[in-house]
């Protein structure tokens, strides 16, 4: 019996949806087996996960809080990976965006600007910070052909060191120096009230609070979708992603595209950082046990892959992932296995990757005795 894969010429729409959903279901099934084998009841665990993520009072709020940065990093990864530019540096770009966004907030807010102006400036500066950081691997890739995977990843560590340095190891602009508390333990300077990002409360289920960052992420998703689907930029980027050579022959300026896509991707990741400062921490969080422990940038990659690089799907998946992260915090403790979140995320990703096969290829199971496949078989 032989199993062969034949490339499909057309990829059925329903499959593009069924496969990611199916892979999540499959992943939970496999993870359930893992739980069972190690002595935990999968059904109760999963029920607890749903409870903690979406159903308990106030849990939706917490899920939205977790999902906001994930939506940005997921979009950042999707924007780049789609073009086969593997920007693993969203984590570091987020930190730099936090730094530049916080700077804008502290400086302009301190000068008494109107809230709208200050927040807009934070958004712009956060974006630019992430862009600048992403352009380092971008330039190295465009002009020096250096593998962007490694350069962007290594820069994550450097960005983390810089973030910690600004608060823990120096008397920088971002650091709070007034007051006794400040000398006891390093903290960031609090944002003036005009720089605090707003949130809107919907009066359902006890009040669901939607942070401004979440709405910004949705807007960014729309922009990215339009950019990739309806503009020449997007079309050229797609061609470049599919085939380097074809793009060059058709006049696409490869270097510029690389820089532009990295800049876009990095900027979106930078927004994740600005949102962290503006929406949640209201100061620059340089604590190595703070923002740097959460790995939002890396989770974004999982989200993008599962969403098959579609911006809207990325936002939805980010929401679900936010729920999973939230539930993980709720459930962990003496009874819930640590490391399970990473295991589940990994299995989801593996399943999604495996499922890709079904989308791209048709599986043929032929009985032995058929002529050996030599490429002469027609593909239907």
Partner 1 sequence: MKIKIKLALALAVAAAVALVGALASSASHGASPYKVAFIYVGPHNDGGWSQAHEQGRQYVQKALGSKVQTTYKENIAVGTQFNQTVASLAAQGYKMIFATSYGYITPAITQKYPNILFEQATGTYLAKNVAEYFGAAEDTVFLSGMAAGAASKTGKIGFVVAYPIPEVIRHANAFALGAQVTHPGATVRLVWTNSWFDPAKEKKAAQSLVAAGVDVLGQNVDSPATGQFAESMHIPWVGYDSNSSKFAPKSWLTASVYNWGPYYVKRIQAAMNGTWKQGFYYGSIKDGFTKLAAYGPGVTAATKAKIASYQTKIENGSYNEFAGPLYDQSGKLRVKKGVRMQVLTGGTNSLYGMNWLVKGVIGSPKG
Partner 2 sequence: MNNSLLIVLIASGVAYGTPLLYAALGELLAERSGVLNLGVEGMMLVGAVTGFWTVQRFHTGSALVLAAGILVAAACGALMALIHAFLVITLRASQIVSGLALTIFAGAAGLSSYLGNDLKLADQPASHTFSAVFPASMQRWPVIGPIVLGQNVLVYISWGCVIAIWLYLSRTRPGLNVRSVGESPAAADTMGINVTAYRYAHTLAGGAFAGVAGATITLAITPQWVDGITGGAGWIAIALVIFAFWRPEFCLVGAYFFGALQALAPQLQARNISLGPTVLWTNALPYVMTIVVLVVVSSGTARSRLGAPEALGNPYSREER
Chain contacts with partner 1 (rule: CB under 8 A):
13, 17, 21, 46-47, 50-52, 54-59, 61-62, 65-66, 164, 168-169, 180-181, 183-187, 276, 280-281, 285, 287-291, 293-294, 310, 312-313, 316, 320, 326, 329-330, 332-334, 338
Question: Which residue of 144, 184, 289, 371 would you call a contact of partner 2, by CB under 8 A?
Answer: 144
Own/partner pairs, 362-369, CB within 8 angstroms, 24+ separation:
362/5, 362/6, 362/7, 362/8, 363/3, 363/4, 363/5, 364/3, 364/4, 364/5, 364/6, 365/1, 365/2, 365/3, 366/1, 366/2, 366/3, 366/4, 367/1, 367/2, 368/1, 368/2
Which string of x and - marks every residue 318-347 that binds partner 2 (by CB under 8 A)? Answer: -------------------xxxxxxx-xxx
Q: If contact means CB under 5 to 8 A according to the sort of partner, which of partner 1, partner 2, none does residue 223 touch?
A: none
Which string of x and - marks every residue 301-320 that binds partner 2 (by CB under 8 A)? Answer: xx--x---------------
Instruction: List Cα–Cα distances, 312 to 24, 145, 236, 323, 362, in angstroms.
Output: 17, 32, 21, 17, 27
Q: If contact means CB under 5 to 8 A according to the sort of partner, which of partner 1, partner 2, none does residue 162 touch?
A: partner 2
Q: Are 163 and 186 in contact (CB under 8 A)?
A: no
Quick one: 23 or 100, whose CB is closer to partner 2?
23
Quick one: 147 or 250, whose CB is closer to partner 2?
147
- Cα pseudo-dihedral 234, 235, 236, 242, rounded to 10: 110
Q: Are 122 and 277 in contact (CB under 8 A)?
A: yes
Q: If contact means CB under 5 to 8 A according to the sort of partner, which of partner 1, partner 2, none does residue 47 touch?
A: partner 1
73 is a site residue for partner 2 (CB under 8 A):
no
13 is a site residue for partner 2 (CB under 8 A):
no
């Amino acid at each position: 019996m032989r199993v062969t894969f034949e490339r499909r010429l057309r990829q059925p729409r329903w499959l593009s949806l069924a496969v990611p959903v199916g892979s999540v279901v499959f992943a939970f099934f496999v993870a359930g087996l893992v739980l069972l084998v190690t002595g935990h009841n999968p059904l109760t665990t999963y029920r607890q996960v749903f409870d903690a993520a979406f159903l308990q009072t106030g849990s939706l709020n917490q899920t939205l809080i977790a999902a906001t940065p994930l939506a940005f990093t997921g979009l950042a990864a999707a924007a780049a990976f789609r073009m086969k530019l593997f920007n693993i540096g969203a984590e570091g770009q987020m930190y730099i965006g936090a730094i530049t966004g916080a700077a804008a907030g502290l400086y302009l807010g301190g000068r008494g600007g109107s809230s709208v102006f200050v927040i807009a400036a934070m958004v712009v500066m956060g974006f630019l910070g992430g862009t600048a950081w992403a352009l380092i691997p971008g330039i190295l890739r465009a002009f020096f052909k250096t593998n962007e995977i490694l350069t962007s990843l290594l820069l994550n560590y450097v960005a983390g060191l810089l973030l910690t340095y600004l608060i823990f190891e120096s008397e920088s602009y971002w650091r709070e120096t007034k007051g006794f508390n400040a000398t006891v333990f390093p903290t960031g300077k609090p944002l003036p009230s005009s720089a605090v990002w707003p949130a809107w409360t919907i009066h359902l289920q006890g009040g669901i609070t939607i942070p401004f960052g979440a709405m910004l992420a949705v807007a960014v998703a729309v922009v990215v979708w339009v950019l990739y689907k309806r503009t020449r930029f997007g079309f050229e980027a797609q061609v470049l992603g599919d085939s380097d050579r074809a793009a060059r022959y058709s006049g696409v300026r490869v270097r510029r595209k690389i820089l532009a896509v990295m800049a876009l991707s990095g900027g979106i990741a930078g927004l994740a950082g600005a949102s962290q400062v503006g929406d949640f921490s209201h100061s620059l969080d340089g604590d190595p046990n703070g923002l740097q422990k959460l790995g939002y940038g890396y989770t974004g990659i999982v989200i993008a892959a599962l969403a098959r690089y579609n911006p809207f799907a990325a936002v939805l998946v980010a929401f679900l992932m936010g729920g999973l992260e939230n539930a993980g915090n709720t459930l962990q403790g003496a009874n819930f296995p640590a490391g399970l979140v990473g295991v589940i995320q990994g299995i989801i990703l593996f399943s999604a990757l495996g499922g890709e096969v079904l989308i791209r290829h048709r599986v043929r199971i032929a009985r032995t005795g058929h002529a050996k496949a030599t490429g002469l078989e027609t593909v239907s």
